[in-house]
Chains A and B, each alone.
Chain A
Amino acid sequence: MRSKKERRYSFCINLVMILISVVMVIPFLLLISASFTSNEAILLHGYTLFPSKLSLEAYEYIWVERAQIFRAYFITIVVTVVGTGTGVMISLLYGYAISKKNFPGRSFFTFYLFFTMLFGGGLVPTYIWYTRYLHIKNTIWGLLIPGLLMGAYNVIMIRTYYQNSIPSELAESAKIDGAGEFTTFFKIYMPLSKPVIATIAMFVGLAYWNDWTNGLYYITDSRLFSIQQLLNNIMKNIEYLSSNPYSIMSSSSYVPQETVRMAIAVVGVLPVLLMFPMLQKYFVKGITVGSVKG
């Protein structure tokens, strides 16, 4: 039997949490509501939390200009899938090797990895190296390679997982059966590392999906724009969609500017929002996994 006082206490706590949750969610509401409002109503009343006059004109406009938006979407999807797949694979391999106690050079390769968390060259040398020497400007590599592919933190998480959660007897018995390192890794370790793969793939995938800095630094060719970079350009110049050479409409035709940019933003975050409930478990696990010792 809960006392009156206890119920009141629980009510207050829930009230505060509801308020905090509302603060967190309201910007999304404003974004979505704006995308479904008629442009004229917005010019008249401004953005509102609920559409003052429902309209699908922003999405209709996006549909007309779909070639550009689909293209950017396609670039983002390709970069996210290829980047995440490759990045997770090379991280797993690195983590596996440095988890082996009898690996000659293990401490060197661990330090080699770990040191990248402590010191970096910074933007200017990185930019000059990638553009002047490796010539990745305006290639798909500019979106895939710099910064995002493999991070020391994730590799150390994998190594710790292999050391603590997979019994070394498994690997030893495989070795007695004549399995080499690659067979052991693919047949025994990979199937057992699903939780850690899911967590890391989620963080790497999110980083690729949300990345706009690589686009800002390395891409000026609009054929290679990701969805984030397209959004960035639309924010800088709302006429971007209708004024660039890929536009179908003539530059003089009517654009529901204020709502279109919000609609494209909605299209850009939607996949992340829809997938989050499924991935929340791994996300929380990834945050709370403690030790990253070198």
Chain B
Amino acid sequence: MKETKKGSTTIKRIRKAVPLYLMILPGFLYLLINNYIPMSGIVIAFKDLNFQKGILGSDWVGFANFVYLFKTPEAFRILRNTVCYNLAFMVINTTAALAIAILMSEIKSKRKVKIYQTCVLVPTLVSMIIVSYMVYAFLNTRTGYVNGLLRSMGRTEIAFYTEPVYWPFILVFVNFWKGAGYASVLYLANILGMDQEMLEAASIDGANRWQRIKSIILPLLKPTVIILTLMSISKIFNSDFGLFYQVPLNSGALIDVTNTIDTYVYRGMINLGDIGMSSAAGFYQSTVGFVLILIVNGITRKYSNENALF
């Protein structure tokens, strides 16, 4: 008797929520199509993909694709590039963003802060295609700005697009240029949200500016820095496809220093013979990334629960 009553109220509640289900439906279907069905497609990493047989009908090959992948020298190279670039990006961008934020917090004039902020944020607005045009305008051999300067100083020009040695620096710089402003806004908001009275009290007590930055502002920013760093670590196997593919103009001579997991997966995909290795690399990226997020979230939860993702 009691149970049927409970059952009928559940039905009642669900019936009352029909409009809510209708509201959720478009988004639900979109995530199904765009996220969940492709997720189940990661099984192709364990298959010998044959479009005649379809994904489900293709033969299982176990770990064969992974064995092939890790036998190639490319496997080590894309892993090294992806991880090392991400580490360099983390260090450079965090330092730069902190410096920009602290400098801006020291400026009294609101109007000036807004102008500087506009300038550092403008690079985040443009696509990697536009960025590749800008880099081309600076670096191309015949008409590039940098080579023009070199020539006017009587130096020989540099064929940047065929010289791998320069690209680690170029890519780190481009990434700084495009990303530092974004993070600096976050840090600046943090500084402005700090207890201003405490900061003033410190300067009345005779703390000079450097002491104030070192012993008050930086320690207060530490939790945000740690959270952002942990979030970057959880994405350490992901790379910006545009930065590594488009900015070097897909130059074959640079592949040793520009090939990352994402560019490798794309190149393997358009070159159908490699789709097995390509999907193995993609599977590897997805699963290792997932495990990393879980680990990082666990650490964050211990450190400061309110900043954990879940």
Contact = CB atoms under 8 A, between A and B. Distances in A.
Interface stretch (A63-71, A243-251, A273-281): A273-281
A294 B301 CA distance: 13
Contact of B17 (A104, A129, A182): A104
A11 to B, nearest CB: 11
A90 B29 CA distance: 10
Contact of A46 (B108, B130, B143, B177): B143
Contacts of A17: 100, 103-104, 107, 112, 116
Interface stretch (B74-82, B194-202, B279-287): B279-287
Contacts of A128: 41, 44, 55
Interface residues of A, number: 95
Contact of B177 (A27, A127, A283): A27
B70 interface: no
Interface residues of B, number: 95
B189 interface: yes
B125 A206 contact: yes
Interface stretch (B31-39, B83-91, B162-170, B252-260): B31-39
A102 B13 contact: yes
Contacts of A268: 127, 129-130
A100 B125 contact: no
Given A31-B134, A232-B246, A287-B186, A122 B265 contact: yes
A191 interface: no
Contact of A116 (B23, B31, B151): B31
A167 interface: no
B290 A104 contact: no
Interface in B151-207: 151, 177, 181-182, 185-186, 189
Interface in A198-234: 206, 209-213, 228, 231-232
A112 B31 contact: yes
Most A C-beta atoms less than 10 A away, residue of B39, B128, B308: B39
B95 interface: no
Contacts of B118: 276-277, 280
B219 to A, nearest CB: 19
Nearest to B294: A118
A212 B245 CA distance: 12
Nearest to B49: A128
A178 interface: no
A261 B185 contact: no
A216 to B, nearest CB: 9
B295 interface: no
A173 interface: no
A120 B125 CA distance: 25
A43 B140 CA distance: 12
A25 B189 contact: no
A43 B123 CA distance: 27
A212 B133 contact: no
A239 B163 CA distance: 25
Interface of A: 9-10, 13-14, 16-17, 20-21, 23-25, 27-28, 30-31, 34, 42-43, 45-49, 90-91, 93-94, 96-98, 100, 102-105, 109, 112-114, 116-129, 132, 134, 145-147, 149-150, 155, 180-182, 185, 206, 209-213, 228, 231-232, 235-236, 258, 261-262, 265, 268-269, 272-273, 276-277, 280, 283-284, 287-288, 291-294
18 contacts: A16-B103, A21-B119, A47-B143, A91-B27, A94-B24, A102-B13, A104-B17, A112-B28, A113-B27, A116-B35, A121-B42, A122-B286, A125-B41, A132-B51, A150-B30, A235-B136, A262-B137, A293-B310
